[in-house]
Structure 1
Amino acid sequence: MKSRLITINAVIVFSMLLLLPSAVAAQSSPSTPNGKPDLSGVWAGPAFRHRAGPSDTDTPGITRYDPKLYSDLFKPGGKEIFYQKWTGNLAHDDPQSLCLPIGFPRIALSPYAQQILQPPGYVVIFYEYNHNFRIIPTDGRPHDKNVELTWMGDAVGHWEGDTLVVDTIGLKEWPLAANEPGRAEVLYHSDALHVIERFTPTSPDTIAYQLTYDDPKIFTKPWTTNWQMKLHPTWKLFEQECEENNRCEGGKCSLSDAQK
Protein backbone atom coordinates (compact mmCIF):
# COMPACT_ATOMS: atom_id res chain seq x y z
CA MET A 1 0.00 0.00 0.00
CA LYS A 2 2.81 2.34 0.95
CA SER A 3 4.63 1.73 -2.34
CA ARG A 4 1.41 2.41 -4.25
CA LEU A 5 0.99 5.79 -2.54
CA ILE A 6 4.58 6.66 -3.36
CA THR A 7 3.96 5.78 -7.02
CA ILE A 8 0.78 7.89 -7.15
CA ASN A 9 2.55 10.86 -5.54
CA ALA A 10 5.43 10.53 -7.98
CA VAL A 11 3.01 10.60 -10.93
CA ILE A 12 1.30 13.72 -9.53
CA VAL A 13 4.61 15.54 -9.00
CA PHE A 14 5.82 14.56 -12.48
CA SER A 15 2.56 15.81 -14.03
CA MET A 16 2.89 19.13 -12.21
CA LEU A 17 6.44 19.52 -13.50
CA LEU A 18 5.21 18.97 -17.05
CA LEU A 19 2.63 21.72 -16.60
CA LEU A 20 5.08 24.16 -15.00
CA PRO A 21 6.57 25.63 -18.21
CA SER A 22 3.09 26.40 -19.51
CA ALA A 23 2.15 28.07 -16.23
CA VAL A 24 5.31 30.18 -16.26
CA ALA A 25 4.71 31.17 -19.88
CA ALA A 26 1.15 32.16 -19.06
CA GLN A 27 2.42 34.48 -16.32
CA SER A 28 5.09 36.06 -18.53
CA SER A 29 2.75 38.33 -20.50
CA PRO A 30 -0.95 38.56 -21.43
CA SER A 31 -2.09 37.36 -24.84
CA THR A 32 -4.66 38.48 -27.42
CA PRO A 33 -7.36 36.11 -28.79
CA ASN A 34 -5.05 35.22 -31.70
CA GLY A 35 -2.34 34.12 -29.28
CA LYS A 36 0.01 37.04 -29.82
CA PRO A 37 1.38 38.99 -26.84
CA ASP A 38 -0.95 41.76 -25.69
CA LEU A 39 1.08 44.98 -25.73
CA SER A 40 -1.88 47.27 -25.06
CA GLY A 41 -1.68 49.87 -22.32
CA VAL A 42 0.12 53.08 -21.39
CA TRP A 43 3.87 52.76 -21.31
CA ALA A 44 6.68 54.90 -20.01
CA GLY A 45 8.93 54.93 -23.02
CA PRO A 46 12.70 54.55 -23.07
CA ALA A 47 13.38 58.20 -22.21
CA PHE A 48 10.32 58.99 -20.05
CA ARG A 49 10.66 62.00 -17.72
CA HIS A 50 8.11 63.49 -15.34
CA ARG A 51 7.21 67.09 -16.00
CA ALA A 52 7.12 67.68 -12.23
CA GLY A 53 6.77 65.88 -8.93
CA PRO A 54 8.33 62.62 -7.74
CA SER A 55 10.86 61.23 -10.17
CA ASP A 56 11.09 57.65 -8.93
CA THR A 57 9.85 56.37 -12.29
CA ASP A 58 12.01 58.69 -14.37
CA THR A 59 14.51 57.15 -16.73
CA PRO A 60 18.00 58.18 -15.57
CA GLY A 61 19.74 60.73 -17.77
CA ILE A 62 20.57 59.01 -21.04
CA THR A 63 22.52 59.59 -24.21
CA ARG A 64 20.13 58.54 -26.93
CA TYR A 65 22.78 58.10 -29.58
CA ASP A 66 26.09 56.96 -28.12
CA PRO A 67 28.87 57.77 -30.64
CA LYS A 68 30.51 54.44 -29.78
CA LEU A 69 27.72 52.75 -31.74
CA TYR A 70 28.41 54.46 -35.06
CA SER A 71 31.57 56.60 -34.93
CA ASP A 72 33.53 54.20 -37.16
CA LEU A 73 30.66 53.57 -39.60
CA PHE A 74 30.48 56.88 -41.48
CA LYS A 75 30.62 56.93 -45.26
CA PRO A 76 32.52 59.76 -46.96
CA GLY A 77 30.29 62.81 -46.51
CA GLY A 78 28.12 61.02 -43.96
CA LYS A 79 29.26 63.10 -41.01
CA GLU A 80 28.20 66.29 -42.80
CA ILE A 81 24.63 64.96 -43.00
CA PHE A 82 24.52 63.47 -39.51
CA TYR A 83 26.21 66.27 -37.55
CA GLN A 84 24.71 69.63 -38.51
CA LYS A 85 25.85 72.79 -36.76
CA TRP A 86 23.45 75.05 -34.92
CA THR A 87 22.39 77.91 -37.17
CA GLY A 88 20.17 79.95 -34.85
CA ASN A 89 17.21 79.06 -37.09
CA LEU A 90 14.83 76.84 -35.12
CA ALA A 91 13.31 75.47 -38.33
CA HIS A 92 16.66 73.73 -38.78
CA ASP A 93 18.00 73.41 -35.24
CA ASP A 94 14.89 72.00 -33.55
CA PRO A 95 11.72 72.16 -35.70
CA GLN A 96 9.48 70.86 -32.91
CA SER A 97 10.14 74.14 -31.08
CA LEU A 98 8.08 75.78 -33.84
CA CYS A 99 5.31 73.19 -33.46
CA LEU A 100 6.48 71.29 -36.52
CA PRO A 101 6.25 67.49 -36.19
CA ILE A 102 8.91 65.81 -34.09
CA GLY A 103 8.99 62.90 -36.54
CA PHE A 104 9.93 59.26 -36.22
CA PRO A 105 12.21 57.78 -34.93
CA ARG A 106 12.90 60.78 -32.69
CA ILE A 107 9.46 60.51 -31.07
CA ALA A 108 10.14 56.91 -30.04
CA LEU A 109 12.72 58.20 -27.56
CA SER A 110 10.83 61.32 -26.48
CA PRO A 111 10.32 61.93 -22.72
CA TYR A 112 6.55 61.38 -22.88
CA ALA A 113 4.28 58.40 -22.28
CA GLN A 114 2.78 56.39 -25.13
CA GLN A 115 -0.28 54.18 -25.42
CA ILE A 116 -0.46 51.00 -27.49
CA LEU A 117 -3.74 49.63 -28.86
CA GLN A 118 -3.96 46.27 -30.59
CA PRO A 119 -7.08 45.85 -32.75
CA PRO A 120 -7.12 42.77 -35.02
CA GLY A 121 -4.51 43.09 -37.75
CA TYR A 122 -2.97 46.30 -36.41
CA VAL A 123 -0.89 47.85 -33.70
CA VAL A 124 -1.63 51.52 -33.01
CA ILE A 125 0.75 53.70 -31.01
CA PHE A 126 -0.48 57.01 -29.59
CA TYR A 127 2.25 59.31 -28.33
CA GLU A 128 1.40 61.81 -25.61
CA TYR A 129 3.64 64.35 -27.29
CA ASN A 130 1.56 66.59 -29.54
CA HIS A 131 -1.03 63.90 -30.41
CA ASN A 132 1.26 61.98 -32.76
CA PHE A 133 0.24 58.46 -33.70
CA ARG A 134 1.24 55.51 -35.87
CA ILE A 135 -1.13 52.93 -37.38
CA ILE A 136 0.88 49.80 -38.13
CA PRO A 137 -0.69 46.88 -40.05
CA THR A 138 0.45 43.46 -38.88
CA ASP A 139 -1.32 41.34 -41.50
CA GLY A 140 1.79 40.70 -43.59
CA ARG A 141 1.25 43.39 -46.21
CA PRO A 142 4.36 44.98 -47.80
CA HIS A 143 5.23 48.65 -47.92
CA ASP A 144 3.32 50.81 -50.38
CA LYS A 145 4.89 50.71 -53.84
CA ASN A 146 5.14 54.49 -54.10
CA VAL A 147 5.99 55.64 -50.61
CA GLU A 148 5.69 59.38 -50.07
CA LEU A 149 8.24 60.87 -47.69
CA THR A 150 6.58 61.89 -44.43
CA TRP A 151 7.59 62.71 -40.86
CA MET A 152 6.35 59.39 -39.46
CA GLY A 153 7.13 57.22 -42.48
CA ASP A 154 5.43 54.11 -43.85
CA ALA A 155 5.37 51.34 -41.24
CA VAL A 156 4.42 47.67 -41.58
CA GLY A 157 4.69 45.00 -38.90
CA HIS A 158 4.77 41.27 -38.39
CA TRP A 159 5.31 38.82 -35.55
CA GLU A 160 8.39 36.69 -35.04
CA GLY A 161 7.31 34.42 -32.21
CA ASP A 162 6.47 36.74 -29.31
CA THR A 163 8.33 39.70 -30.84
CA LEU A 164 6.55 42.44 -32.77
CA VAL A 165 8.81 43.61 -35.61
CA VAL A 166 8.01 46.98 -37.21
CA ASP A 167 9.70 48.05 -40.45
CA THR A 168 9.60 51.78 -41.33
CA ILE A 169 10.76 53.58 -44.49
CA GLY A 170 9.74 56.75 -46.33
CA LEU A 171 11.05 59.25 -43.78
CA LYS A 172 11.85 62.88 -44.53
CA GLU A 173 15.36 64.09 -43.76
CA TRP A 174 14.80 65.33 -40.22
CA PRO A 175 16.46 65.63 -36.80
CA LEU A 176 17.15 62.49 -34.81
CA ALA A 177 17.99 64.55 -31.75
CA ALA A 178 18.45 68.15 -30.65
CA ASN A 179 19.58 69.63 -27.34
CA GLU A 180 21.50 66.47 -26.46
CA PRO A 181 23.73 66.98 -23.40
CA GLY A 182 27.29 67.85 -24.37
CA ARG A 183 26.53 68.24 -28.08
CA ALA A 184 27.07 71.36 -30.16
CA GLU A 185 25.26 69.93 -33.18
CA VAL A 186 21.87 68.70 -34.27
CA LEU A 187 21.82 65.02 -35.26
CA TYR A 188 20.04 64.42 -38.57
CA HIS A 189 19.06 61.34 -40.54
CA SER A 190 18.70 61.22 -44.31
CA ASP A 191 15.62 60.44 -46.40
CA ALA A 192 17.03 56.94 -46.96
CA LEU A 193 16.69 55.93 -43.31
CA HIS A 194 15.23 52.47 -42.74
CA VAL A 195 14.28 51.64 -39.13
CA ILE A 196 13.55 48.22 -37.64
CA GLU A 197 11.85 48.14 -34.21
CA ARG A 198 11.53 45.01 -32.09
CA PHE A 199 9.08 44.90 -29.17
CA THR A 200 9.68 41.81 -27.01
CA PRO A 201 7.70 41.29 -23.75
CA THR A 202 10.04 40.21 -20.97
CA SER A 203 7.44 40.26 -18.15
CA PRO A 204 3.79 41.30 -17.75
CA ASP A 205 4.85 44.94 -17.40
CA THR A 206 8.10 45.32 -19.34
CA ILE A 207 9.07 45.33 -23.00
CA ALA A 208 12.57 45.05 -24.41
CA TYR A 209 12.58 47.69 -27.15
CA GLN A 210 15.24 47.58 -29.86
CA LEU A 211 15.85 50.13 -32.62
CA THR A 212 18.06 49.36 -35.62
CA TYR A 213 19.06 52.27 -37.87
CA ASP A 214 20.02 51.60 -41.48
CA ASP A 215 20.87 54.87 -43.24
CA PRO A 216 22.93 54.05 -46.36
CA LYS A 217 23.52 57.70 -47.23
CA ILE A 218 25.37 58.16 -43.93
CA PHE A 219 26.61 54.80 -42.61
CA THR A 220 28.32 51.75 -44.06
CA LYS A 221 26.10 49.36 -42.12
CA PRO A 222 23.19 49.39 -39.63
CA TRP A 223 23.63 49.98 -35.90
CA THR A 224 21.34 49.18 -32.98
CA THR A 225 20.23 50.62 -29.64
CA ASN A 226 18.43 48.71 -26.87
CA TRP A 227 15.94 50.09 -24.36
CA GLN A 228 13.20 49.06 -21.93
CA MET A 229 9.57 50.18 -21.70
CA LYS A 230 7.50 49.98 -18.49
CA LEU A 231 3.73 49.45 -18.33
CA HIS A 232 1.68 51.71 -16.01
CA PRO A 233 -1.93 50.41 -15.87
CA THR A 234 -3.27 53.41 -13.89
CA TRP A 235 -1.90 56.06 -16.23
CA LYS A 236 -3.70 57.87 -19.00
CA LEU A 237 -2.33 60.16 -21.68
CA PHE A 238 -2.54 63.87 -20.91
CA GLU A 239 -3.58 66.43 -23.49
CA GLN A 240 -0.29 67.91 -24.60
CA GLU A 241 -0.35 70.82 -27.02
CA CYS A 242 2.52 72.69 -28.56
CA GLU A 243 1.16 76.06 -27.38
CA GLU A 244 -2.37 76.12 -26.00
CA ASN A 245 -3.68 74.14 -23.03
CA ASN A 246 -0.30 73.01 -21.78
CA ARG A 247 -0.75 71.39 -18.38
CA CYS A 248 2.69 72.61 -17.34
CA GLU A 249 2.87 75.97 -19.08
CA GLY A 250 6.17 77.66 -18.40
CA GLY A 251 7.27 74.66 -16.36
CA LYS A 252 4.89 75.56 -13.51
CA CYS A 253 3.26 72.35 -12.36
CA SER A 254 1.68 71.02 -9.22
CA LEU A 255 2.27 67.47 -8.04
CA SER A 256 -1.23 66.55 -9.19
CA ASP A 257 -0.21 67.42 -12.75
CA ALA A 258 2.40 64.69 -12.86
CA GLN A 259 1.56 61.11 -13.69
CA LYS A 260 1.11 59.04 -10.56
Structure 2
Amino acid sequence: MRNFWLVLFLTAVGAIFTLAAAQSPAIRRMPDGKPDFTGVWAGPAFSHKVGPGDTDAPSPTRFNPKIYADLFRPGGKDVFYHKWTGDLRHDDPQALCLPVGFPRIILSPYSQQWIQTPGNIVVLYEYMHFFRVIPTDGRPHPRDLEMTWMGDSVGRWEGDTLVIDTIGLKEWPFAGDEPGKDDSGGKTVPYHSDALHVIERLRHIDATTVSYQITIDDPKIFTKPWSQDFQMKLHPTWKLFEFVCEENNRCEAGKCVTSDVQK
Protein backbone atom coordinates (compact mmCIF):
# COMPACT_ATOMS: atom_id res chain seq x y z
CA MET A 1 0.00 0.00 0.00
CA ARG A 2 2.84 2.38 0.83
CA ASN A 3 4.40 1.72 -2.57
CA PHE A 4 1.07 2.49 -4.24
CA TRP A 5 0.81 5.93 -2.62
CA LEU A 6 4.48 6.67 -3.33
CA VAL A 7 4.02 5.84 -7.02
CA LEU A 8 0.86 7.96 -7.12
CA PHE A 9 2.67 10.90 -5.50
CA LEU A 10 5.65 10.71 -7.86
CA THR A 11 3.33 10.48 -10.86
CA ALA A 12 1.46 13.61 -9.76
CA VAL A 13 4.71 15.53 -9.21
CA GLY A 14 5.95 14.48 -12.64
CA ALA A 15 2.72 15.65 -14.25
CA ILE A 16 3.02 19.04 -12.56
CA PHE A 17 6.57 19.55 -13.82
CA THR A 18 5.58 18.41 -17.32
CA LEU A 19 2.71 20.92 -17.37
CA ALA A 20 4.97 23.71 -16.12
CA ALA A 21 7.52 22.94 -18.82
CA ALA A 22 4.80 22.99 -21.48
CA GLN A 23 3.56 26.37 -20.27
CA SER A 24 7.07 27.92 -20.27
CA PRO A 25 8.39 28.08 -23.85
CA ALA A 26 12.01 27.02 -24.19
CA ILE A 27 14.45 29.88 -24.64
CA ARG A 28 15.88 30.49 -28.10
CA ARG A 29 19.41 29.25 -28.69
CA MET A 30 22.15 29.90 -31.20
CA PRO A 31 23.48 27.05 -33.41
CA ASP A 32 26.35 26.65 -30.91
CA GLY A 33 23.85 26.10 -28.09
CA LYS A 34 24.34 29.46 -26.37
CA PRO A 35 21.20 31.38 -25.32
CA ASP A 36 20.09 33.79 -28.05
CA PHE A 37 19.61 37.40 -26.91
CA THR A 38 18.77 38.68 -30.41
CA GLY A 39 15.80 41.05 -30.59
CA VAL A 40 14.43 44.38 -29.40
CA TRP A 41 14.25 44.63 -25.64
CA ALA A 42 12.55 46.98 -23.24
CA GLY A 43 15.45 47.86 -20.96
CA PRO A 44 15.50 47.96 -17.16
CA ALA A 45 13.80 51.37 -17.08
CA PHE A 46 10.65 49.77 -18.52
CA SER A 47 10.37 47.05 -15.89
CA HIS A 48 12.01 48.15 -12.67
CA LYS A 49 11.42 45.64 -9.89
CA VAL A 50 9.39 47.08 -7.02
CA GLY A 51 8.55 45.11 -3.91
CA PRO A 52 4.95 44.60 -2.73
CA GLY A 53 3.66 47.61 -0.83
CA ASP A 54 6.80 49.64 -1.58
CA THR A 55 5.52 53.23 -1.79
CA ASP A 56 9.00 54.76 -1.64
CA ALA A 57 10.41 53.06 -4.75
CA PRO A 58 13.19 54.86 -6.63
CA SER A 59 12.72 56.05 -10.18
CA PRO A 60 13.41 53.24 -12.68
CA THR A 61 15.78 55.60 -14.53
CA ARG A 62 18.34 55.62 -11.73
CA PHE A 63 19.97 53.26 -9.31
CA ASN A 64 18.62 52.94 -5.79
CA PRO A 65 20.73 55.17 -3.48
CA LYS A 66 19.63 53.10 -0.47
CA ILE A 67 21.78 50.22 -1.71
CA TYR A 68 25.06 52.13 -1.51
CA ALA A 69 24.28 54.80 1.08
CA ASP A 70 26.51 53.14 3.71
CA LEU A 71 29.30 52.06 1.34
CA PHE A 72 31.17 55.33 0.80
CA ARG A 73 34.85 55.14 1.69
CA PRO A 74 36.43 58.11 3.54
CA GLY A 75 36.50 60.95 1.03
CA GLY A 76 34.35 58.95 -1.41
CA LYS A 77 31.45 61.35 -1.23
CA ASP A 78 33.77 64.18 -2.29
CA VAL A 79 34.59 62.19 -5.44
CA PHE A 80 30.97 61.14 -6.04
CA TYR A 81 29.22 64.47 -5.42
CA HIS A 82 30.50 67.25 -7.66
CA LYS A 83 29.52 70.82 -6.88
CA TRP A 84 26.70 72.14 -9.05
CA THR A 85 28.10 74.89 -11.29
CA GLY A 86 25.13 76.03 -13.39
CA ASP A 87 27.06 74.97 -16.51
CA LEU A 88 25.20 72.02 -18.00
CA ARG A 89 28.34 70.67 -19.65
CA HIS A 90 29.29 69.69 -16.11
CA ASP A 91 25.96 69.41 -14.33
CA ASP A 92 23.86 67.49 -16.88
CA PRO A 93 25.69 66.98 -20.19
CA GLN A 94 22.81 65.09 -21.81
CA ALA A 95 20.84 68.36 -21.79
CA LEU A 96 23.40 69.55 -24.38
CA CYS A 97 23.11 66.32 -26.39
CA LEU A 98 26.45 65.10 -25.04
CA PRO A 99 26.58 61.33 -24.43
CA VAL A 100 25.05 60.01 -21.23
CA GLY A 101 27.71 57.31 -21.20
CA PHE A 102 27.69 53.87 -19.64
CA PRO A 103 26.24 52.65 -17.33
CA ARG A 104 23.78 55.54 -17.27
CA ILE A 105 22.49 54.72 -20.77
CA ILE A 106 21.09 51.35 -19.71
CA LEU A 107 18.56 53.14 -17.50
CA SER A 108 17.27 55.45 -20.22
CA PRO A 109 13.56 54.77 -20.92
CA TYR A 110 14.15 53.68 -24.52
CA SER A 111 14.40 50.32 -26.23
CA GLN A 112 17.58 48.56 -27.27
CA GLN A 113 18.27 46.02 -30.00
CA TRP A 114 20.61 43.08 -29.46
CA ILE A 115 22.26 41.36 -32.43
CA GLN A 116 24.10 38.14 -31.60
CA THR A 117 26.64 36.17 -33.64
CA PRO A 118 28.72 33.18 -32.49
CA GLY A 119 31.53 35.45 -31.24
CA ASN A 120 30.01 38.88 -30.61
CA ILE A 121 26.98 40.74 -29.36
CA VAL A 122 26.12 44.18 -30.69
CA VAL A 123 23.79 46.36 -28.60
CA LEU A 124 22.09 49.25 -30.41
CA TYR A 125 20.52 51.85 -28.13
CA GLU A 126 17.61 53.89 -29.44
CA TYR A 127 18.61 56.72 -27.12
CA MET A 128 21.19 58.86 -28.94
CA HIS A 129 21.90 55.85 -31.23
CA PHE A 130 24.87 54.68 -29.20
CA PHE A 131 26.13 51.13 -29.58
CA ARG A 132 28.37 48.55 -27.95
CA VAL A 133 30.28 45.74 -29.69
CA ILE A 134 30.93 43.03 -27.11
CA PRO A 135 33.14 40.01 -27.92
CA THR A 136 31.88 36.95 -26.05
CA ASP A 137 34.93 34.70 -26.33
CA GLY A 138 36.29 35.52 -22.87
CA ARG A 139 39.20 37.64 -24.10
CA PRO A 140 40.87 40.12 -21.67
CA HIS A 141 40.67 43.88 -21.95
CA PRO A 142 43.40 45.58 -24.01
CA ARG A 143 46.36 46.76 -21.93
CA ASP A 144 46.35 50.37 -23.14
CA LEU A 145 42.77 51.58 -22.97
CA GLU A 146 41.57 54.96 -24.13
CA MET A 147 38.97 56.29 -21.69
CA THR A 148 35.63 56.63 -23.46
CA TRP A 149 31.98 57.30 -22.65
CA MET A 150 30.93 53.68 -23.26
CA GLY A 151 34.14 52.02 -22.08
CA ASP A 152 35.59 48.70 -23.21
CA SER A 153 33.30 45.68 -22.80
CA VAL A 154 34.24 42.00 -23.03
CA GLY A 155 31.92 39.06 -22.45
CA ARG A 156 32.11 35.45 -21.39
CA TRP A 157 29.69 32.61 -20.70
CA GLU A 158 29.11 30.98 -17.34
CA GLY A 159 26.77 28.19 -18.39
CA ASP A 160 23.67 29.96 -19.72
CA THR A 161 24.59 33.26 -18.04
CA LEU A 162 26.16 36.01 -20.14
CA VAL A 163 28.69 38.01 -18.11
CA ILE A 164 29.83 41.38 -19.51
CA ASP A 165 32.82 43.17 -17.96
CA THR A 166 33.34 46.89 -18.68
CA ILE A 167 36.19 49.26 -17.75
CA GLY A 168 37.86 52.30 -19.33
CA LEU A 169 35.01 54.69 -18.56
CA LYS A 170 35.43 58.44 -18.48
CA GLU A 171 34.65 60.21 -15.23
CA TRP A 172 31.07 61.21 -15.97
CA PRO A 173 27.63 61.85 -14.37
CA PHE A 174 26.18 58.73 -12.79
CA ALA A 175 22.63 57.41 -12.95
CA GLY A 176 22.34 57.48 -9.19
CA ASP A 177 21.23 60.13 -6.73
CA GLU A 178 19.24 63.13 -7.78
CA PRO A 179 21.22 66.38 -7.35
CA GLY A 180 21.73 66.77 -3.62
CA LYS A 181 23.32 69.12 -1.09
CA ASP A 182 26.85 69.13 0.27
CA ASP A 183 27.76 69.91 3.88
CA SER A 184 27.65 73.64 3.19
CA GLY A 185 24.22 73.44 1.55
CA GLY A 186 25.53 73.76 -2.00
CA LYS A 187 23.85 71.78 -4.78
CA THR A 188 25.70 68.69 -6.04
CA VAL A 189 25.54 66.23 -8.95
CA PRO A 190 26.69 62.57 -8.71
CA TYR A 191 29.67 61.41 -10.80
CA HIS A 192 31.42 58.06 -11.03
CA SER A 193 35.23 58.01 -11.13
CA ASP A 194 37.57 56.85 -13.90
CA ALA A 195 38.19 53.67 -11.87
CA LEU A 196 34.63 52.42 -12.40
CA HIS A 197 34.35 48.70 -13.16
CA VAL A 198 30.92 47.38 -14.20
CA ILE A 199 29.80 43.76 -14.39
CA GLU A 200 26.50 42.79 -16.05
CA ARG A 201 24.97 39.33 -15.65
CA LEU A 202 22.13 38.34 -17.97
CA ARG A 203 20.17 35.09 -17.88
CA HIS A 204 16.85 34.09 -19.45
CA ILE A 205 13.99 33.56 -17.03
CA ASP A 206 11.76 32.44 -19.89
CA ALA A 207 11.52 32.97 -23.65
CA THR A 208 10.76 36.70 -23.36
CA THR A 209 12.19 37.74 -19.99
CA VAL A 210 15.81 38.24 -18.98
CA SER A 211 17.17 38.68 -15.47
CA TYR A 212 19.60 41.60 -15.57
CA GLN A 213 21.97 42.23 -12.67
CA ILE A 214 24.48 45.07 -12.70
CA THR A 215 27.37 45.31 -10.25
CA ILE A 216 29.10 48.65 -9.61
CA ASP A 217 32.70 48.54 -8.42
CA ASP A 218 34.26 52.00 -8.01
CA PRO A 219 37.13 51.72 -5.51
CA LYS A 220 37.72 55.48 -5.45
CA ILE A 221 34.20 55.95 -4.07
CA PHE A 222 32.87 52.76 -2.45
CA THR A 223 34.36 50.33 0.07
CA LYS A 224 33.06 47.33 -1.86
CA PRO A 225 31.04 46.51 -4.99
CA TRP A 226 27.25 46.67 -4.88
CA SER A 227 24.57 45.24 -7.16
CA GLN A 228 21.04 45.96 -8.29
CA ASP A 229 18.65 43.57 -10.06
CA PHE A 230 16.35 44.43 -12.96
CA GLN A 231 14.53 42.64 -15.75
CA MET A 232 14.37 43.08 -19.53
CA LYS A 233 11.41 42.10 -21.73
CA LEU A 234 11.59 41.00 -25.36
CA HIS A 235 9.17 42.69 -27.80
CA PRO A 236 9.26 40.90 -31.18
CA THR A 237 7.09 43.53 -32.92
CA TRP A 238 9.10 46.57 -31.78
CA LYS A 239 11.71 48.41 -33.79
CA LEU A 240 14.13 51.23 -33.00
CA PHE A 241 13.03 54.73 -33.95
CA GLU A 242 15.07 57.70 -35.05
CA PHE A 243 16.40 59.82 -32.19
CA VAL A 244 17.87 63.24 -32.98
CA CYS A 245 18.79 65.01 -29.76
CA GLU A 246 20.05 68.16 -31.52
CA GLU A 247 16.55 69.02 -32.80
CA ASN A 248 15.66 70.16 -29.30
CA ASN A 249 18.94 71.97 -28.56
CA ARG A 250 18.11 75.68 -28.43
CA CYS A 251 21.38 77.03 -27.04
CA GLU A 252 23.69 79.15 -29.16
CA ALA A 253 26.82 77.24 -30.23
CA GLY A 254 25.90 74.54 -27.73
CA LYS A 255 26.78 76.77 -24.77
CA CYS A 256 23.94 76.13 -22.37
CA VAL A 257 23.33 77.04 -18.79
CA THR A 258 20.43 75.92 -16.65
CA SER A 259 18.29 78.95 -17.51
CA ASP A 260 18.47 78.10 -21.24
CA VAL A 261 16.93 74.68 -20.72
CA GLN A 262 14.15 76.13 -18.60
CA LYS A 263 13.02 78.52 -21.35
Please indicate the TM-score interval, normalised by the length of the shorter structure.
Answer: 0.7 to 0.9
Change (3 A) 1:178 1:221: closer
Residue 202 of structure 1 aligns to a residue whose secondary structure is: strand
Structure 2 residue corresponding to 1:238, chosen from 222, 237, 241: 241
Alignment of 1:11-26 (within 5 A): 20=18
Question: How far did residue 25 of structure 1 move?
Answer: 11
The aligned amino acid for 1:197 is E
Change (3 A) 1:219 1:100: same
Residue 117 of structure 2 aligns to a residue whose secondary structure is: coil
Question: How far did residue 182 of structure 1 move?
Answer: 7.8
In structure 2, the residue matched to 1:229 is 232
**Could you tell me whether the CA contact under 8 Å between 2:205 and 2:211 is conserved in 1?**
yes
In structure 1, the residue matched to 2:131 is 133
| Residue deviations 1:152-202 (CA, integer Å, cap 9, x gap) | 001000111111100000000001137848885322100000000011110
Structure 2 residue corresponding to 1:112, chosen from 100, 110, 114: 110
Residue 243 of structure 1 aligns to a residue whose secondary structure is: helix
Alignment of 1:100-249 (within 5 A): 100-177=98-175, 180=178, 185-244=188-247
Q: Which whole-Å CA distance do the structure 2 matches of 1:27 and 1:106 have between them?
A: 32
What is the aligned-residue identity percentage?
A: 64
Unaligned segments of structure 1, at least 5 residues: 1-9, 50-59, 247-260
Q: Which whole-Å CA distance do the structure 1 matches of 2:106 and 2:22 have between them?
A: 30
How many pairs are equivalent? 224
Change (3 A) 1:123 1:26: farther
Residue 28 of structure 2 aligns to a residue whose secondary structure is: coil
**Could you tell me whether the CA contact under 8 Å between 2:113 and 2:124 is conserved in 1?**
yes
Question: How far did residue 84 of structure 1 move?
Answer: 2.1
| Residue deviations 1:114-156 (CA, integer Å, cap 9, x gap) | 0101012001100001110000000121100111111100100
Q: Which whole-Å CA distance do the structure 2 matches of 1:188 and 1:90 have between them?
A: 14
The aligned amino acid for 1:100 is L
Which deviates more, 62-71 or 163-172? 62-71
Question: How far did residue 65 of structure 1 move?
Answer: 2.3
The aligned amino acid for 1:231 is L
Q: Which whole-Å CA distance do the structure 1 matches of 2:44 and 2:148 have between them?
A: 23
Change (3 A) 1:83 1:182: closer
Change (3 A) 1:61 1:193: closer
Change (3 A) 1:181 1:48: farther
Residue 244 of structure 1 aligns to a residue whose secondary structure is: helix
**Could you tell me whether the CA contact under 8 Å between 1:177 and 1:186 is conserved in 2?**
no
Question: How far did residue 82 of structure 1 move?
Answer: 1.1
